[in-house]
Every structure is written in structure tokens, then in C-alpha cells.
Amino acid sequence: MADAEPNGIADITGAVRQGLIPAFLYNDAQVHELERTRLFGRSWNFLAHESEIAQPDDYVVRNIGDDSFLVTRDSDGQIHVMFNMCVHRGMQVCRAERGSARTFRCPYHAWTYKNDGQLAGLPFHADAYGGEAGFIKEGQALLRAPSVAIRNGMIFASLDPDAPDFETWLGDYAFYLDFYTGQSEAGMEFRGPQRWRVEANWKIGAENFMGDSYHTPHTHASVVDIELFGEPKPYKRKEGVLWHAGPGGGTTYKLPPGSDFGSGLAYVGYPDEMIDRMAATLSPAQRALVDEPGFMPSASTLFPNLSFVHNWPQTDAEGRITPFISVRLWQPVGPGETEVYSWFCVAADAPEDYKAASYKAYLMCFGSSGMFEQDDVENWVSITTMARGSMARNLLLNNRMGLTLDGEPIVDQFEGFGGPGTAYQGFGEHNQRHWFSMWADLVSQPAPARQPMAFGMGEQPA
Amino acid sequence: MSSGQSQAPLPYTDERHQAAAQFLTEEAHLLDTSDFEAWLGLMDRRIRYRMPVRVTAVKAADEVDVQTMHHFDEDWYSLRKRVQRFQTDYAWTEDPQSRIRHHVSNVRTFEGSDDELIVESAVLLYRSRGDRTAPSLLSAGRTDVLIPTEEGLRLRQRDIEIDESVLRTQNLAIFL
Ligand code: FES
Ligand SMILES: [Fe+2]
């Protein structure tokens, strides 16, 4: 059924590839269904960070679309990602969000699984099934996520057993990912997440973080006005470079003239101990991004729905500037509803004083109460509400900023940028178009074929 | 916080309880009428204003919140910034303004050390925005530390126990 070619999908992807977005894409049941089966059925999805399950037997429960997964660290320290549905009659095995457990007992009939997924206990196996003659218990386990990959401690899974190799797929995005989650050899610590639901389509946040430097001076004027964060002034924002590389892209701020790695990081508030850590983990090529002409990564998105933000607000009355990193997931709940997961992220071995100030910076700016985020979400809820109606079916929104009518870039690619991929200085929707071209690639292909698996009947599950 | 105080609350006829209850009612009035400057005036300069993220955990774990993550963890500086932001012309999320009402109840007052009062209360915040989205509700318990000053009671500390692990409201451009 999901494989039947839906009406109009070729028109939709055709428009999107020209930089025209049918407005109803932001609130449409059929598009949501295509995204659920075709896009999230294939993509690499972020679930959790290793630091959230730091100790043996720790676990968290996370979703990919409608599917609940148990992400565990077993007693030997191995990480497992398992579909959280009992293979007996389908009860959700673990209904807590996080905790520590060696085994999980299904609440319905008490089948018990070890934290590596193996079926360990099946009450009355002999009486009820005649033992192995009726149900082969040996070797049974919870269904595994078809593909799993870990990078910088970040655990990703794909519902597609034939998903592309993660590292190959990530490509040159890895260069930028390290600025957010590769700041120390000791790894990063993820705190949270804060979770809240907004009546907004998930795509809007993903696109916004990927490249919308154009909204910052206006949407976030209040945070400049109160001197919380001085960078988003219009003239400063347009000096930034927008880059995209592999399956992601992001925005940057231009650093003061003459910056080098150390002075650039110090300018955004990193203390010497953090600069040393980053100097040790980042390659010479990565460090050169901060050297003259000098750019500092700000917001970024890794397709489809994982975003990062790095800003450096003033965190006390004395004028201390402190950077923070937030990682966030835009988890679709329905065509017009998104659950936001927002983590604070900091080098695990950062000085305590720095951690405290960076945490403060995060809470003031982003997350459920963040003064940036408050105004972003207001916009996204409004777009989603407007997209629901009939008129939105006639409207093609313009996603062509930075191109002439003939499709030529209005400025040349920026030559002096130190990172891989495609880079333009100034405002433009290059990154949003790149995001939508990946979106179009996935929603126009049939969903991966599913192989039904019977349990206890003799054939071994993969 | 959720376990509450071990001592008995002051009788409702006690003047200290009455002063605390009146403080909370007047405070709610300031918030409901967007008089944030006056609201900030009720804070002691050493204010700690916290709302941890709640978590769904198995009963045996006895874990009610994520110890290391909050929705709010504010001091005087950051509360003042939040108030200043509402006073700019660009706080779009509250322009047009929400219609909000703080329903405060279940007030219990306890003697603290020195002249401090420990005050528990429940708050239900009703928030209606615009004419297209459904209103939202936030329910929370609060434990406050109030200190007497020459100008009256001042809020020294507030710990908010929000009754949701996943908030169903678009943002926390509000105070509880
Ligand atoms: S459904 Fe899980 S034990 Fe029966
Ligand atoms: Fe924004």
C-alpha cells in the first residue's frame, strides 16, 4: 500500500527541487504518511548519547516516529537498540523513560528479557507450550533495530536493514559535527532532554537550524535588545557563511578580523582549559575554520531532524560571555505536531565552573524556556496552522533566496572558507534547498521492503 | 519536595500563614496583569527559582526528576533578563499577549529557620493564545521560602514540581 505511487508526489518533489515549496507540505496527512514510511523508514535517526546510559545496566526509551526503542547498556557495557514490543503479544516491555535494569519483565504475561534483549524467562514454558516442542525459547530476543551506528558517542539507528554505511553517508558533515560533539577526548556529556510538544510541523525547525540566518535579526531582536546575545545584528549575521556538506548544513558567524584558533574560541567565551581540549581533538583542517578569515559554527542540521546550536550569550551581570551547545530532535507526532527533545551538551571533563555557566547560557537561550526558542516556536506554530487550509494548496512558497530567476547564484561560492562542502557568504536558502532535495529523494522512493518474522517457530530472527 | 514537610503546617488562623497566602495571591495577580516589574520586586536578590525536568521512572527507582536538567534554573540576573525581554517591542511570542490566569490553592505554611516561612502551594496556569490554537494548562506544586523584610515578605527560593514529563505548551514564556 505504501508502495503505490501517491497522487501528486512527482509534482511536489518537482516543485521542491526548483526551490518552490507547496505550502500544504507543512500540514498534510498524506505527506506525513509518506514521511513516516519512506523518509523515517530509511533515514539514520538519532536516539541517545552514550553518556545518558553511562553505567552498565542503564537504559533510556526513545522513539523513531511511532516506534518505541529500548536503548540499553548491558552488564558487559555493550550498547543495544531494541524494539520495545514484547514478541509474545505486543505489550510495550518497558514503560519508563530511563533507569537501570538487568532485566525487563513484560507487564502482561511476565516474559522476561535480559538487557541485551535475550528472552530469559517464559512462565509455564513446559505447561503452556509443551516446552521447546511448542515454542522455541532458545535464542529468542527482542527485535533489534535493523541498523545501528555510533559516532562521537551519539547513537543512531535506521529502520532499514540496507541503510547506507553511516560513516559513508555522514561524509563531510563529520568535519562540522566535531565542533559540537567532539570537543574533548573525554567525550561529551548530554543532559536532559527537556521534552515538549508544539503544534508545528517537524520540517520547519530542521530547515530553520540548517540555514536560516535571515530570520535571526528580526525574530530574535529582543535578545539583542536586552543585551543577552549581541551577534544577531543584521550586519553581523550577513557576514556569516552558510555551508552544506554531506547530509547536513549550518550557519556561522564571522569572527573579528585577525582571529586565530585560540583568539576565536576565546572571543566566544571558551576558557583556556577548553581551548586546549579542542586543540587536542580537532584536526589542523578543522582548527583552520576558526583562523582568519575566521568563522564560528552556530546552528546546524543533520538530515532529517537532528539539529545543533552553538551561541555565546552574556551569562552574568558582570558581562561574562559563555558558549553553550544544544542538541535537539524534531520528532514528528502528526502532520501538525512535533515533540521537541532538547539536550544540553558539554565536554565531560570541562571545568565545573565552565559547565555551570554554559548550562546557564543554554537555559536562558534555548530549550523549553529559552528566550530564543520562545519566538521561534511562535512562528512555526503559525506556519503550521496556516498550511492546513485550502488556499495553502495553491501557494508555492519561495525557497530560492540566493538564486537569480535563471537559477544562477547571486554571489560566487566563498573561496576563503576553511571547511569542506559548499559555502556562500551572506543570506541565502542554499541549505534549505539542499535539505529539501534530500527530502525529495526519500519521499519519492518506495519504503524499504519489510520481512515479517515469526518468533518461537523455528527460524532464527536476524 | 514532593514528600513535603515533616512538621505540621501552621493553623490557618495563624497570621504568618495568612500573610503567606496573601503574598501568593497578590503575586499571582501581578503575573496575570503582566506587571512583571512589580513581580520582580517581590524577589529577594539571592533568589533561586527552579523547575526540574520530570521523568517517568519505575516506582522502585524513586526518581521523580532529571537531577541535572531543568526547565528553569534562575537567579536574579536571568529572571531580570526574562522580564526585560517582555518589556521590549520584539517579544513576539507574547505579542499579542496570552490570556493567562494563575489559580493558586492548597496553601500550607510551615515555620522555617530564623523567621523564614516555608510555603507549599499548587498552581494551575491557564493560557490561551490567539484565536486558532487550543488553550494550554500547566499544573504544578511549589515549595517557596519566604523571608520577612521591612517591605513585607520576599521570595528567597522557589522549587516548582511540574506535573508533566512532556510539556503540552509551546514554550515557557510564563512564570509559575
Ligand atoms: S505480551 Fe508480553 S508477556 Fe505476553
Ligand atoms: Fe531562531
Q: Does A99 touch chain B (CB under 8 A)?
A: yes
* Per-residue pLDDT tens over the stretch A207-236: 999 999 999 999 999 999 999 998 888 888
**Angstrom distance (rounded) from CA A450 to CA A448:** 6
Q: How far is the CA of A113 from the centre of ligand 2 (A)?
A: 43
Which residues of chain B from 120 to 149 reach within 8 Å of chain A, CB to CB?
A: 132-133
A112 interface with B at CB cutoff 8 Å: no
Q: How remote is the CA of residue A70 from the centroid of ligand 2, in Å? A: 32
Query: Which of A97, A99, A381 has its CB closest to that of B133?
Result: A381
Average pLDDT, chain A: 95
Task: Output the CA torsion sign for A298, A224, B97, B44.
Answer: positive
Q: Which residues have a Cβ under 8 Å from the Cβ of A400 and sit 6 or more positions away?
A: A18, A19, A20, A429, A433
The pLDDT, as a whole number, for residue A19 is 97
What pLDDT is recorded for position B2?
Answer: 44
Q: What is the pLDDT of residue A3?
A: 52
Which grid coordinates are listed for A313?
A: 550569550
| Strand pairing class (B152-162; B43-54) | parallel
Cα distances (angstroms) measured from residue B16 to each of A127, A367, B13, B40: 67, 38, 9, 22
pLDDT of residue A33: 96
> Which residue does chain B place closest to A374, by CA atoms?
B171
Q: Does B170 touch chain A (CB under 8 A)?
A: yes
Q: Find, among A174, A241, A195, the residue nearest to A424 by Cα.
A: A241
Decide if B54 touches A, using CB distance below 8 A.
no
d(CA B99, CA B127): 6
How much is the pTM? Answer: 0.96
- pLDDT, residue A267, reads 97
CB contact under 8 A, B92 and A219: yes
Q: Is A106 in the pocket of ligand 1 (CB under 6 A)?
A: yes
Residues of B in contact with A320 (CB under 8 A): none
CB pairs under 8 A between A and B: 120
Angle ∠(A440,A342,A289) on CA atoms, nearest 5: 70
Distance CA A267, CA A183 (A): 17
Give dist(CA A24, CA A33) in Å, integer.
14
Ligand 1 close to Cβ of residue A89 (< 6 A): yes
Averaged over A403-427, what is the pLDDT?
96
Backbone angles phi, psi at A414, to 5 degrees: -80, 120
What percent of chain A is predicted at pLDDT more than 70?
Answer: 98
Q: Touching check for B69 and chain A: CB below 8 Å?
A: yes
Quick one: pLDDT at residue A460?
52
The model's confidence at residue A2, banded by pLDDT at 50, 70 and 90, is: very low
**pLDDT tens across the length of chain B (176 residues):** 444 688 999 999 999 999 999 999 999 999 999 999 999 999 999 999 999 999 999 988 877 788 899 999 999 999 999 999 999 998 988 888 999 999 999 999 999 999 999 999 999 999 998 888 889 999 999 999 999 999 999 999 999 999 999 999 989 999 99
Q: Phi and psi dihedrals of B122, rounded to 5?
A: -110, 145
- Ligand 2 centre to CA of A48 (Å) is 24
pLDDT at A62 over 60: yes
Mutant choice from B58, B86, B127 vs A, greatest count of A C-beta within 10 A: B58
Confirm or reject contact between B64 and chain A (CB < 8 A): no
- Looking at residue A27, the DSSP 8-state letter turns out to be S
Cβ proximity of A456 and A140 under 8 Å: yes
**Hey, what's the torsion of the CAs at A142, A59, A323, B84, to 10 degrees?**
100
The pLDDT of residue B1 is: 44
pLDDT over 50 (residue A462): no
Cα–Cα distance for residue pair A347/A409, rounded to 1 Å: 39
- H or E, element range at A267: helix A261-267
Cβ contacts of A420-425, under 8 Å, gap ≥ 24 = A420/A172, A420/A175, A420/A245, A421/A172, A421/A243, A421/A244, A421/A245, A421/A246, A421/A249, A422/A243, A422/A244, A422/A245, A423/A241, A423/A242, A423/A243, A424/A241, A424/A242, A425/A239, A425/A240, A425/A241, A425/A242
Q: What is the mean pLDDT of residues A285-296?
A: 95
- The protein residue with its alpha carbon nearest to ligand 1, atom 1, reads A89
Q: 3-class DSSP state for residue A97?
A: coil
What does DSSP assign to residue A454?
-
Give the start-end residues of each E strand in A5-57.
20-22, 45-49
In tens, the pLDDT along A98-153 reads 999 999 999 999 999 999 999 999 999 999 999 999 999 999 999 999 999 999 99
Residue A459 pLDDT: 64
Give yes or no for residue A455 CB within 6 A of ligand 1: no
User: Which chain A residues are Cβ-neighbours of B71 within 8 angstroms?
Assistant: 194, 367-369
* From A68, A86, A119, mutation site for ligand 1 pocket: most ligand atoms within 8 A of C-beta: A86
Work out the average pLDDT over A326-349.
Answer: 98
Cell digits of residue A324? 553553550
Alpha-carbon distance B4 to nearest alpha carbon in chain A (angstroms): 24
Calculate helix-pair angle for A371-386, A202-211, nearest 10 degrees.
130
Q: Contact A99/B77, CB-based, under 8 Å?
A: no
Instruction: List pLDDT tens digits, range A18-45.
Output: 999 999 999 999 999 999 999 999 999 9
